[in-house]
Structure 1
């Protein structure tokens, strides 16, 4: 039984329309990023801005340890990224990806639905296995530096769980894309773009309820002065929360962290249990105040809007690319409605993620700076802010001065010296 769609290729006018839609949505995305990103959140203080100086923040031994940790992991991380792309290209730009889909679907009749679902899972597992030795090496390094507390059994479970969740969600999403391409061969990209944008929005709401519990267990923080103060802090921030939860992060790491997740009745402050024994309450409150800043400034909603526009633009661009006959022929697929197109689709998704990463991180660094401002304004305690940044940087082994190109591409937060310099600028602006 043939698994290829019998739909004719899109006419040139439809191809141009897909490219036009991608351009319009891309332009809207740029406008939203330019308008919504807080490019400068603090006036220049008297005497100018404080320079970020790692040597003024950390001891020489602390700097050497953090840099050694980064030097041990950075080549492996970059190699893993490149190897993953190479595997995706090998499966997406040759008939190998189509062969994987056909082979896995054959025992179940070889239909296009099974080609998509099992093809995505098979390709995802192949990619994960290709980079698994580098993941093992990374975990060995984290153990060596005392950052990971996971046994290898738990590590394997986490890898399997994350792979299964990622592959499952991708399989369902691509199944919808291929189904739309079969049903509406000329306008599928428009329907898929709307669906992708909606999925980003729904995912933002479901993530804390569905994904987070797959990796951590959460318990309400017992009644204590810290819990009372965190709830009061949320009220003062104008973003009340329903609960304060403690995550059992110590099963996996010694890293320190806290965050706010959920919306409305599901909003809660989540504190790693590693924080409770290692930091004083006022420093934990400073971290929570930063996270509440993301809620007060609607950063999740802004990120969701940016993600939805990006998903729509990317899907329209996909509609243009998947009318290129040479590209489809190389992948062994007859069109976007052919179940054997999954290898090519997954490659294009990987490339889209790679291209968008530095843009996302550029926006993220400025949003994080605004959340730092919120923490300082809310607590009026730059000393605790500075102290907790030192504690976080030391415990999490953050590189205090990463290479500029690396930080530009991969850095989602300002460096610890930059954040401490920002706190000093805040103090200067407010006459402290």
Structure 2
């Protein structure tokens, strides 16, 4: 069998299976909510397959007219459809699907010669693919359909979009200009430090926005897996599309660092598409979902953040007045004049508090996270610090470090009417 025929079959057969599964699902009902989950799972499977196959060295695909990142696009897309869309549309237990993929790979892959030449340890590569690609893709598809395990959904979606937009697309653009990722860092030490600092500055707002949708909105950035409520806190108090703005900024920085004209043109096109097509659609759909969105959009810009929060619902910061350090912290917060924040004595709280507490509309934070929330209401530079402090994982590390330095919980004097939360 010729290489061209095998290459086409690796796409046609999975595509027919996916179409058949979709038709069967449409007959029994429930196709519409599964299509976005199928797209997500396919995207995660594709970027994972290409990354492992291109970097693992367990297989070798002859160079062809449709080779993308070292793998024929028909083969990688067909494989991704099989591991991503097919299980979502067909349904069934993900464990059985994983075992079926294992069995099919062992039987089918050796018979794809001359399309793929297997290395001596190709079975190790297959196991890596099944564990690091197939299993997450199955999990993402299943969890998105059932809307379970929100933190896992957010994390897997993040891997998907960062892989597609932050690795695959830039890699193709750099290759178009005869460049690679080493060219991004082919600068002196001072320039590399500046590039790293700029990347961190640009990356924090979109990461904080994702965390805000998860923690406050109880949803994800994916339009078909949205939050349960309108989120106007965190970066969304300064601009309404922090994820798009941050992503565009990072890609422009990457294009400038590597000197890639193709990547820069791609970023410009993506930005124009976002402004001309995506934003009007988003405005209409979110206005229909949340009546308050129209008023929010009239106050908040899209690409140029405000210096102070444009949206600042009332909030209370409870700080002890009998603890010297705590009282000083409360005074410092007052002097910073955070928008919409009232500082009150923790001793007067209706519940017994042992840490500083932030109480806002839909938000409740303790310790370092509470202080970070207050910083977000001051001005854009201080807000950036607050967002960085509240990033998942960072908040825990900073709180542990603060506790280790003696800034842990404080026992406050009892007050009549106070109850333990």
- Normalised TM-score (structure 1): 0.28
**Bigger relative contact order, structure 1 or 2, given CA contacts below 8 A and separation 6+?**
1
More helix by share: 1
